[in-house]
Structures are given as C-alpha cells and as structure tokens.
Amino acid sequence: MRLPSSLVRLLRRLGWYHPLHDWRRDRRFRRRRAAEVAQWRRAGCPSPPPDAIKYDCIRHYARTHGTPVLVETGTWFGDAIFTLRGEFRAIHSIELAPALHAQAREALAHLPHIHLHLGDSAAELTRLAPTLAGPTLYWLDGHWCDGPSARGTKDTPIMEELSFLLDRPVGQDVVLVDDARFFTGEHGYPTVDALRRLVAAKRPAASFELQDDIIRIVPV
C-alpha cells in the first residue's frame, strides 16, 4: 500500500520515513518467506530452495567463519542485502543493469554501510576485492536471468570471478556460488565438476561442497 505523499513528507521531516519503510519491507518479506518455506517443506524440500533458505545459508557461513564483509554479485532488487543488512559491518553489491542499480540505490541510500557498484562483476570484483579489510564472504549470484536482468558478454562471469578470487593470496574468505543447478556445461555455464577441478587446482586445502543449490568453498 502506498502512503499519501503528504504523509511521506511529514514522515521524512520527522526522520521516521526510512525506519517505517524498512519495517514494512521486513514484515512483507517475513510473511512471504514463511509461506514459501512452509510450502517448500511440504513439497519435500526440492531444489532450488526458496530465497529464505539461501539467505539463512549466507547468515550461517558469516557467523561460523566470522566474515564482517559481504560482497554480492548481482544486486537485482537488493532483497538479499536488505535482508542481511544487520549481519555485516560492510556490504558491497555489484549490478550490471543500470535501472536495477539505480532502484536499489534509491531504496538503500539511507544505509551507509551498503555500497552499490554499477558494472560487470568480473571487472568490478578485481577493483573492489583489494580494497576490503577483513575476512569477506563472496555471494556470487550475478548472471543473466528472466525479467529486467542485464546480460554481460556471457550469461555468467563465474569462471572469471572465481579464478580471480582463487589467484589471490590465501586468506580467510568464504565463497558461496548460487544457482548450482545451472552449472550443466550449457548456455555458457561451466559444469560443477569444472568448478571443483578449478578449486582443487588452485586451492587444494579448500573444501568444496554443494547443498541446497549453493556451492560452498572455504576458506579462500
């Protein structure tokens, strides 16, 4: 429900607009996600799981591995970073579609620890990663998809992103790659085995697991 513009002006003057807006967005997400998770469980937990399960996975790895920084590729509507905004000291998200980037900027501009970057994540990551202090969780989710999505030179820049991250000195970072079901060797996606081999070659000590449609590589 949209608020009347006079009420929006008043709320902005009082400094209540963003807290109220965020509370309503949280409540909307909570309700929708509770219904999606219940339905998913009733269906026997098929792959892929709903977003709430994926965000729980990010939260779990951030807490277990103590990563105060989140880097997301593929901002989309900013739902993941909005949901997880309280979990991280700093959040960076990279989006190739100018309209999605602008929309997320407007919705999240009042949250100073969230930094939104416009560009191809394969290129932006190489600029951003060296500037980050502290263990970082990389949520690699930038790829072409239905809807207002951008498409780079490839449907997915995952090989470039992962190669870059694995070529850096060993640290305490975590890499989670979403949408493992697409990694079939078709439409520009590598196979899961190709990713596994890349990780084994560059980081023999890292673990590589696949669960709930998410590839988990620790530590990087």
Provide the binding-site residues for ligand SAM, judged by CB under 6 A. 72-76, 79-80, 94-97, 100, 120-121, 141-145, 149-150, 152, 157
In terms of CB distance, is 151 or 168 closer to ligand SAM? Answer: 151
In terms of CB distance, is 76 or 183 closer to ligand SAM? Answer: 76
As measured in angstroms, the least distance from the Cβ of 87 to ligand SAM is 14
Mind giving me the DSSP string for 137-168? EEEE-----SSS----SSS--HHHHHHHHHTS
In terms of CB distance, is 179 or 203 closer to ligand SAM? Answer: 179
Is the Cβ–Cβ distance between 65 and 91 less than 8 Å?
no
Residue 187, both tokens:
């439409």
As measured in angstroms, the least distance from the Cβ of 188 to ligand SAM is 11
In terms of CB distance, is 11 or 145 closer to ligand SAM? Answer: 145
Contacts of residue 119, Cβ cutoff 8 Å, sequence gap at least 6: 94, 96
As measured in angstroms, the least distance from the Cβ of 145 to ligand SAM is 5
Query: In the complex, which residue's CB is closest to ligand SAM?
Result: 74
Phi, psi of 181 (to 5 degrees): -65, -20
In terms of CB distance, is 54 or 203 closer to ligand SAM? Answer: 54
CB count within 10 Å of CB 139 equals 27
| CA angle (64 as vertex; 118, 209 as ends), nearest 5 | 75
As measured in angstroms, the least distance from the Cβ of 29 to ligand SAM is 11
What's the 3-state SS for 89-133?
CEEEEEECCHHHHHHHHHHHCCCCCEEEEECCHHHHHHHHHHHCC
As measured in angstroms, the least distance from the Cβ of 97 to ligand SAM is 4
